[in-house]
Amino acid sequence: MIGQIIFTLLLLAGLGYFINNIKKAIRNIKLGKPSHRDDRKDERLRNMLLKSFGQQKMFKRPIPALLHLTVYLGFIIINIEVLEIVIDGIFGTHRVFAPMGAFYNFLIGSFEFLAILVIVAVVIFWIRRNILKLLRFNQPEMKGWPKNDANIILYFEMVLMSAFLIMNAADYKLQLAKYGHYFFKEGIVGGFPISQYLLNVLPDNTDTLVIIERGAWWFHIIGILVFLNYLYFSKHLHILLAFPNTYYAKLPPLAKIENLESVKKEVALMMDPNADPYAAPADDAEEPERFGAKDVFDLQWVYLLNAYTCTECGRCTDVCPANQTGKKLSPRKIMMDVRDRLEEVGKNIDKNGEFIDDGKSLLDYISKEELWACTTCNACVEECPVENDPMDIIVSVRQYLVMEESAAPSELNMMFTNIENNGAPWQYSQMDRLNWADED
């Protein structure tokens, strides 16, 4: 009974902490401006099914895609057994779904095959990151915590799958010994195609076996609760957010840059022959909207969702032409910087009850050199497996620099001046371009 109480308290505490953190993430995402992406619902649902469930973009690189799919399916399917563990933990039962008979045996056996495949895939992933040291996993932004985070997740998955197999092996051996409640009159309960090979490694003493089985059982469920709560602090939050992220992703035409509403209003006013150019704003007029994005508050909420969903896989940076030619720009770093700033803002709100201006902005995280290195080719958006859009974030911050700070590079300022004075980007008049037609 004491065990059931402890289990229930741990379960409630783990779920409560997780829900509290998810609420914080949702609050932080909602700090962004409205994003009108509730149209074309059928296309959005299809996009989510293909890109999130089907992992369509991952298969541009088949080998890592298959390994990732193995880990993903293993993680999702094996954790179906968590339902049985939860019921057993709360009510003090043991293998409560055992009466399902042959189907139950098939399920447990399938879980074991998946578990060993997950372990193999995770080992390969670890080798790629730490021994082969693939370039996209060793960019400057991946030093320190990002690198450790990736490895911690791999260790988590290896240990959880190992605990699952050890738990099953000890349970199987206790069933064979017909010990206590582990013995079922119907015979052996569960399929153990992998864990059966661990029987010779385990001791024969039944009391020791019970300690091992219970220890692995507790370790497995506590590990899952820890992993669940670790997600919020990890890039692996994409396990949950990939679904809404792909649903609200930009639909074709993908490279279309949205016009600023504030600019459209100004242009409409200029083109209105009945408008009074000298009219003062109404007394109750709202404060003019900022041009572009200086901070996370100025970005659409969907881009803040993008930041939380970033997998840090580096595929965007891997195909970025600016990065390939040695420029400082890394689209992955842009996403990580937005997330870091958003987290900083969130902590500010947690501390003060509301946001207190800290004098910082996205420009304290993202340098102008990075922003102006972008060629707006859309390669990063095309490559991202979860449909993130670092290019639009870059364009939004550029818009702020140009339209509010007049901080464009000298080449662009010269072009703006020529357009204003000559009606063309060049240093001669628009009319002069037709002089060739008058030549003999």
Specify the higher pLDDT residue, 1 or 327.
327
Residue 392: the pLDDT is 94
pTM reported for the whole predicted model: 0.89
Residue 280: the pLDDT is 66
Q: What is the mean pLDDT of residues 343-347?
A: 96
Q: What is the mean pLDDT of residues 191-209?
A: 92
By C-alpha distance, which of 390, 240, 392 is closest to 307? 390
- Name the average pLDDT for the chain: 89
Confidence of residue 433 (pLDDT cuts 50, 70, 90): low
Are the C-beta atoms of residues 293 and 299 closer than 8 Å to each other? yes
By C-alpha distance, which of 1, 434, 35, 22 is closest to 228? 22
Confidence of residue 431 (pLDDT cuts 50, 70, 90): low
Q: What is the pLDDT of residues 260-314, one digit of tens each?
A: 777 777 777 778 788 776 666 666 666 667 888 999 999 999 999 999 999 999 9
> In this model, does residue 440 exceed pLDDT 70?
no
Confidence of residue 184 (pLDDT cuts 50, 70, 90): confident
The single-letter DSSP state of residue 405 is S
Beta-bridge partner residues of 33:
300
Q: Where are the domains of the chain?
A: 2-30+61-247, 261-270+288-422
Confidence of residue 74 (pLDDT cuts 50, 70, 90): confident
CA triple 47-77-192, angle to 5 deg: 155
> In this model, does residue 347 exceed pLDDT 80?
yes
Residue 18: the pLDDT is 95
What is the C-alpha separation between 98 and 88, in angstroms, rounded? 11
Specify the higher pLDDT residue, 215 or 426.
215
Q: What is the mean pLDDT of residues 335-353?
A: 95
Residue 76: the pLDDT is 80
What is the C-alpha separation between 102 and 333, in angstroms, rounded? 50
Q: What is the pLDDT of residues 142-176, one digit of tens each?
A: 999 999 999 999 999 999 999 999 999 999 999 99
> In this model, does residue 122 exceed pLDDT 80?
yes
**Alpha helix positions (H), 37-144:** 41-48, 62-78, 81-91, 102-130
CATH number of 261-270+288-422: 1.10.1060
Residue 360: the pLDDT is 94
Residue with tokens 């995770």: 122
Q: What is the pLDDT of residues 218-242, one digit of tens each?
A: 999 999 999 999 999 999 999 999 9
Percent of the chain exceeding pLDDT 90 equals 62
Specify the higher pLDDT residue, 105 or 283.
105
Q: What is the mean pLDDT of residues 195-223?
A: 93
